[in-house]
Copies of this chain bind each other. A is one copy, B any other.
């Protein structure tokens, strides 16, 4: 529908933007919202784009008010007739409509959606339709690539000159802090590995929370680039860097329904890797009843897509699928996990062997993926970097560059916490350790906000225990929190002892 209005010169200036004022009811009837952009057309050669404001006292029905920016520059007089193109809807809306009808989208269409989500041009309702539309018809490999690329294009990028390696652990396994060991191993060999990590949402700690025990993690992009230039590595919080901003908005509208399709996970992870400029990527994909991915079969399907989409970006991706039956390492909670990490890096006699072994394994595989060494030789090299304390020296550089204390000792990080030991009520074999219950107890103890809170495990699945033997210790910062954690721990079994 073509609509014509009489112009009214307003004595208002926006300081730059072209603003056209419509009567509220008239705007609403045409489906125009404040902030929408419209085309004003006086003649073939005189058209401008303006932003809509609505008002019921500045203009009458049949009139539009023009800010000075419009009428001065374009020599418009009051009483001039202008046409307003009401129906020029953003391309992105058309694209979402198309996807809602089950059709495939091309790159331009997907880019328009992601770009308009990033800049707020599409609101909550439109973004929700976009998320919902991926359920109408699953993404093709092309579409997965287009979405990932658009996500990366629409945010900040690191633009490093060096070739970059990276590792990424998919969540759901408490204590899985291999990142903080793999990164210094890799960097100590002269490879660039700029690592952004996430904070816990519902779990007791994310890598960023644990690293924060040792050094600040919310650094701006410029600082990250400087650190990478100097020492080749960092371990920072991804949320402080505005990479792939559409991802956060999409996560927000996904929350009310807890929709988390695996495709969304692949896009979310890879978009940030593309923005980081990663060339070689090792993905640690644990599976098991309490992990994000429940079966090996599903893990394999996801792995295949990771590799295929990565290939389109010339990122060499390898996925390690390891079953998760218990925590990795002994500690769960920011400080207790940081202690485990330092114990491994400092080759402390109480270091958790499983965390050390998994880190060496992943670091070795990453070295082989990069072509740093022949296949089968990576783990030996990684192990040597740990044993020689070269990895620890690199970690000290990272801690120092990010603003922490590089002389910290493993046994210093959890000092000052209250603790309470839990003992075996009978003799037998540890048949199961429940990751979900561990998380529940740790959150009730105050983790991750209270850094010292958490659990330290003294046993592992398969161990023989005697009656009264220490099974695990609860840590808390206050007596009240310790009490809440104890209630949670007595409610469901952390450790199950059988024959």
Q: Chain A: residues with CB nearer than 8 A to chain B?
A: 1-6, 25, 29-31, 61-63, 81, 93, 96-97, 100-102, 123-126, 128-129, 132-133, 135-136, 201-202, 253, 255-259, 436, 439-440, 443-444, 446, 449-450, 478, 480-481, 483-484, 487-488, 491-492
Establish whether residues A81 and B487, one from each chain, have CB atoms under 8 Å apart when the complex forms: yes
Also in contact, A123 and B256, with CB within 8 A (given A132-B132, A443-B1): yes
Give the Cβ gap from A377 to chain B, nearest Cβ, in Å: 43
B29 touches A201 (CB 8 A): yes
Contact partner of A258 (CB less than 8 A), chosen from B81, B97, B440, B483, is B97
- Is the contact region of chain A dominated by helix, strand, or loop, or is it mixed? helix
Q: A257 vs B30: C-alpha distance in the bound complex, in angstroms? A: 13
Residues of B near A440 (CB, < 8 A) are: 1-3
Contact of A480 among B62, B125, B253 (CB under 8 A): B62
Contact B126 A256 (CB under 8 A): yes
Q: Kindly report which residue of chain B lies nearest to residue A83, judged by CB atoms.
A: B487
What are 13 A-B pairs at a CB distance below 8 A? A2-B492, A3-B440, A4-B488, A6-B483, A6-B484, A25-B449, A61-B446, A62-B484, A93-B257, A100-B132, A124-B128, A126-B257, A128-B132
Q: Are A81 and B491 in contact (CB under 8 A)?
A: no
Nearest chain B CB to A79's CB is how many angstroms away? 9
* Candidates B3, B123, B491; contact of A444 at CB < 8 Å: B3
A124 to B129 Cα, complex, angstroms = 11
Are A129 and B257 closer than 8 Å at their CB atoms?
yes
Besides A6-B480, A62-B484, 8 more A-B contacts (Cβ < 8 Å) are: A2-B444, A61-B450, A62-B446, A81-B487, A100-B132, A124-B125, A128-B129, A133-B135
- A100: chain B residues at CB < 8 Å are 132, 135, 257, 259
User: Which 4 A/B pairs are nearest by Cβ-Cβ distance?
Assistant: A132-B132, A128-B128, A4-B484, A4-B487
A450 to B29, CA, bound (A): 14
Kindly identify which residue among B30, B136, B258 contacts A202, using a CB–CB cutoff of 8 Å: B30
- Expressed in whole angstroms, the minimum distance between the Cβ of A298 and any Cβ of chain B is 15
